[in-house]
């Protein structure tokens, strides 16, 4: 009996060694299995560990699923651009993808402490974050924009910087919208920043008149404005930035994931995922 068990264990070990990340784990969350399923049509066969250099069965992605169209809930499942790109990367590496939803400002810490393998959350590459994590190449561009009510006296980003300005600005806690408005405006005595756990909560505060505007990334801004009457996005852009995947410093995953990402950019998979969620104007 013992011998049999040992043999079985050996075969299992060998199989894992041969396939690297095996995708036989069926205990993944609804979110991850759905993301994997939707990407399988777009990508090809699994790679083995000898070519990918990844010796994990499951890749844990830290995200904050409050950011349509990059990551958000559809029922119980986390879907969106990042979820699908991550699933395609995991598939290329022969790994199962598991998505962990958390507060946005916990992602960098979770990744740097090794509680997650990577962070993908429409996350902007910043000097500050580069102190704690490494980033992949960029896979998308984001723009910080300003959402106001249709009748707002604020008509451009410049109005936020005007002498004597004293707006209440809503942001998602820990995002670049928070960081920039805090540094540029609150520190200069030109605004009070109200920090919310979710962008959607900032938008609700705007709708009920508790704040004067919301500074947030353009794609979620569009989604929130579409979902609510009486809001608009100002034409002027606040800051243009690059989204990338973050890893613990010197992680062994950075290179293989980055290589997989670049292959998916080159073969058009990333663009087709983006096109599925963002319709060009
Ligand atoms: N791009 C902004 C940043 O990196 C906002 C990202 C928010 N993402 C999210 N999944 N809530 O700070």
Phi first, then psi: give them for residue 201, nearest 5 degrees: -70, -35
**Cα–Cα distance for residue pair 18/13, rounded to 1 Å:** 9
- What does the pLDDT read at residue 14? 39
**Cα–Cα distance for residue pair 148/125, rounded to 1 Å:** 26
Q: Which atom of ligand 1 is nearest to the CA of 198?
A: 11
Q: Which atom of ligand 1 is nearest to the CA of 123?
A: 4
- What does the pLDDT read at residue 53? 75
- What does the pLDDT read at residue 10? 40
Q: Measure 123 CA to ligand 1 centroid, in angstroms.
A: 5
pLDDT in tens, 7-52: 444 444 333 344 445 444 433 344 444 444 344 433 444 445 446 7
What CATH architecture applies to the domain 2-139+244-280? Answer: 3-Layer(aba) Sandwich (3.40)
What would the CATH number be for the domain defined by 143-241? 3.40.190.10
- What does the pLDDT read at residue 21? 59
Q: Please identify every stretch of the chain with a pLDDT value under 50, giving residue numbers as ranges.
A: 1-20, 22-47, 49-50
**Cα–Cα distance for residue pair 201/206, rounded to 1 Å:** 9
- What does the pLDDT read at residue 31? 43
Phi first, then psi: give them for residue 238, nearest 5 degrees: -85, -60
Selection from 120, 103, 108, 107 nearest residue 197 by Cα: 103
267, two tokens: 């073969």
- What does the pLDDT read at residue 164? 96
Selection from 217, 208, 152, 149 nearest residue 178 by Cα: 217
Testing ligand 1's pocket by substitution, the residue of 73, 103, 122, 219 carrying the most ligand atoms inside 8 A of its CB is 122
Maximum separation of any 2 CA atoms in the chain, in Å: 82
**Pocket lined around ligand 1, Cβ cut-off 6 Å:** 63-64, 66-67, 71, 104, 121-124, 142, 172, 175-176, 217
Q: Where are the domains of the chain?
A: 2-139+244-280, 143-241
- Yes or no: say if 63 and 120 are a contact pair by the CB < 8 Å rule: yes
Fill in the DSSP letter of residue 123.
Answer: P
**CA 32 to the chain's CA centroid:** 14
What are the CA-CA distances from residue 149 to residues 78, 164, 199, 224, 225 (Å)?
Answer: 29, 21, 15, 12, 10
Fill in the DSSP letter of residue 69.
Answer: T
């Amino acid at each position: 009996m013992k011998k049999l068990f040992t043999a079985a264990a050996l075969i299992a070990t060998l199989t894992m060694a041969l396939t690297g990340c095996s995708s036989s784990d069926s205990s993944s969350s609804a979110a991850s299995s759905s993301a994997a399923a939707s990407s399988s049509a777009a990508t090809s066969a699994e790679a083995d560990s000898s070519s990918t250099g990844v010796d994990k069965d499951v890749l844990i992605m830290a995200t904050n699923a409050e950011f349509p169209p990059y990551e958000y809930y559809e029922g119980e499942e986390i879907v969106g651009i990042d979820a699908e790109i991550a699933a395609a990367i995991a598939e290329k590496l022969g790994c199962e993808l598991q998505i962990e939803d958390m507060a946005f400002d916990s992602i960098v810490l979770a990744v740097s402490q090794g509680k997650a393998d990577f962070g993908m959350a429409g996350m902007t590459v910043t000097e500050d974050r580069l102190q704690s994590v490494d980033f992949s190449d960029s896979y998308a561009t984001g723009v910080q924009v300003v959402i106001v009510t249709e009748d707002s006296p604020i008509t451009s980003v410049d109005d936020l910087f005007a002498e004597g300005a004293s707006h209440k600005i809503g942001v998602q806690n820990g995002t670049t919208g928070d960081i920039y408005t805090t540094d540029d405006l609150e520190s200069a005595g030109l605004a009070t920043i109200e920090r919310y756990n979710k962008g959607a909560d900032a938008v609700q505060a705007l709708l009920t008149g508790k704040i004067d505007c919301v500074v947030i990334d353009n794609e979620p801004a569009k989604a929130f404005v579409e979902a609510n009457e009486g809001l608009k996005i100002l034409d002027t852009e606040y800051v243009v930035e690059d989204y990338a995947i973050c890893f613990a410093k010197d992680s062994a995953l950075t290179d293989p994931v980055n290589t997989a990402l670049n292959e998916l950019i080159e073969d058009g998979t990333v663009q087709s995922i983006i096109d599925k969620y963002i319709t060009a104007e």
